A and B are shown apart, each in its own frame.
Chain A
């Protein structure tokens, strides 16, 4: 993971990876919940949000987690107990699987995966299974409807997301996320390499589609049909309480963070700064301090992107179910296909 002078035994490396994974998933989740869900949302409604627990309510999260932990772990009598209990873990698992491929620095990565983005998009859909299981196993009409809506929505928006990613993959010529980062930071815009070539410029349509699809994948408003509280109580989460609800809650915001990290890798240049600035030319010549600066850069980009996600979430009312599907199938997917085709043509011609 991190190149140190001393040799770390295999178990030590694994331990470091597990700890790193926990930090990479839980730290963004906590930051998003406190900074955006508690504070920014309150400020947008002209109130201050939590102020009592810790300075400016910064320990509110600890209190919330404590509250959820001490609640009773209820399961409905008719529920399919064992899979009812597994479902939230499946959802969270997909987040942990997703974070594995994200590079945080030249050497600060969990695994250098040749088909990284392919794998990432594949495991991202594991959460659909968890949500469907939760909806079915709860033995509750609201849960079932919520689960079905979630499945329909996630499948519909997975397609534009994949197609939007395809543009980046074509342009970078690699599915490896590390190579995509390097390609952006060594690239040039029409012969000018001052800021590298973050794909947000060339793939702006792709970026827009990706962010919209992410919004829908995370079931954040205006795409929160699956947990529409005015119709479905709380959708697939209706029957969950205590610790298992907490897992769903963490998974929602951890996934927001991880998707923002992936988006920053794909479109904003990831951990890198343009290699020209320090006279690096390949990944091997990058200085070691980037292993510390890289995660910080990634974290900043993640915050910017989640700010946009949350801003949109707090501003817009919910889509109607048919509008939601129409938007995915009739607008986003054709647009993403066209984007992919044009990118491919440009790649071949130039």
Chain B
């Protein structure tokens, strides 16, 4: 194999920067001009946590496992009508308050992992910055609205066991 003539590193370096200059002019930059055009985050991106309120039993597992203590839950027990006619009324936990303070949240996702009833979901939505830091406390109505942005769960791989 014929040996390539050696280019001194100095000129190689100049060539690299000039090459990228050319690429940027011809093909455009690798960056996105954010407010004008938006990047599509991957569907499993950790943007915001959404709450599916009906599934929540106020079991407090998420609040207790949160490293930042940024989840605030209040609830009370109440009686619900029986499932079948003639049965006893059921006792259920009713959720009064479910707040996540995104000023504290570090997006570790432990709450989503730990939730035994599939009440918390990751959504790739990322545009919820606020002029006031207090507005980053999302209450359960707002967390519920994020549910619309939660993408469909991808198909399981062939041979995977579904619980």
Contacts and interface: CB of A to CB of B under 8 A. Distances in A.
Contacts of B16: 315
B30 A44 contact: no
A311 B18 contact: yes
Contacts of A44: 17-18, 20-21, 24
A222 to B, nearest CB: 10
A284 to B, nearest CB: 43
Contacts of B30: 46-47
Contacts of A42: 24, 29
A43 B10 contact: no
A189 interface: no
A26 B20 CA distance: 29
**How would you classify the secondary structure of chain A's contact residues: helix, strand, loop or mixed?**
helix
B153 interface: no
Using C-beta atoms within 8 Å of the partner chain, give the interface range for chain A: 10 to 19
Contact of B31 (A40, A47, A311, A314): A47
Contact of B17 (A47, A51, A315): A315
A87 to B, nearest CB: 33
A1 B13 CA distance: 44
Contacts of A18: none
Interface string B5-34: 000001001101110110111000111010
Interface residues of B, number: 15
B20 A45 contact: yes
B46 to A, nearest CB: 25
B20 A46 contact: yes
**How would you classify the secondary structure of chain B's contact residues: helix, strand, loop or mixed?**
helix
B109 to A, nearest CB: 30
A344 interface: no
Given A43-B24, A43-B25, A48 B33 contact: yes
A216 to B, nearest CB: 16
B29 A48 contact: yes
Contacts of B33: 48, 51
A312 B15 CA distance: 11
Given A43-B20, A43-B21, A44-B20, A315 B14 contact: yes
Contacts of B25: 43
A316 B29 contact: no
B38 to A, nearest CB: 16
Interface string B103-132: 000000000000000000000000000000
Interface centre among B14, B17, B29 (most CB of A within 10 A): B17
A315 B31 contact: no
Contacts of B23: 46
Contact of A316 (B10, B18, B20, B31): B10
B31 A46 contact: yes
Given A43-B25, A46-B31, A47-B29, 18 more contacts: A42-B24, A43-B20, A43-B24, A43-B29, A44-B18, A44-B20, A44-B21, A46-B20, A46-B24, A46-B30, A47-B30, A47-B31, A312-B14, A314-B17, A315-B14, A315-B16, A315-B17, A316-B10
Interface of A: 40, 42-48, 51, 311-312, 314-316
30 contacts: A42-B24, A43-B21, A43-B24, A43-B25, A43-B29, A44-B18, A44-B20, A44-B24, A45-B20, A46-B23, A46-B29, A46-B30, A46-B31, A47-B24, A47-B29, A47-B30, A47-B31, A48-B24, A48-B31, A48-B33, A51-B33, A311-B14, A311-B17, A311-B18, A312-B14, A315-B13, A315-B14, A315-B16, A315-B17, A316-B13
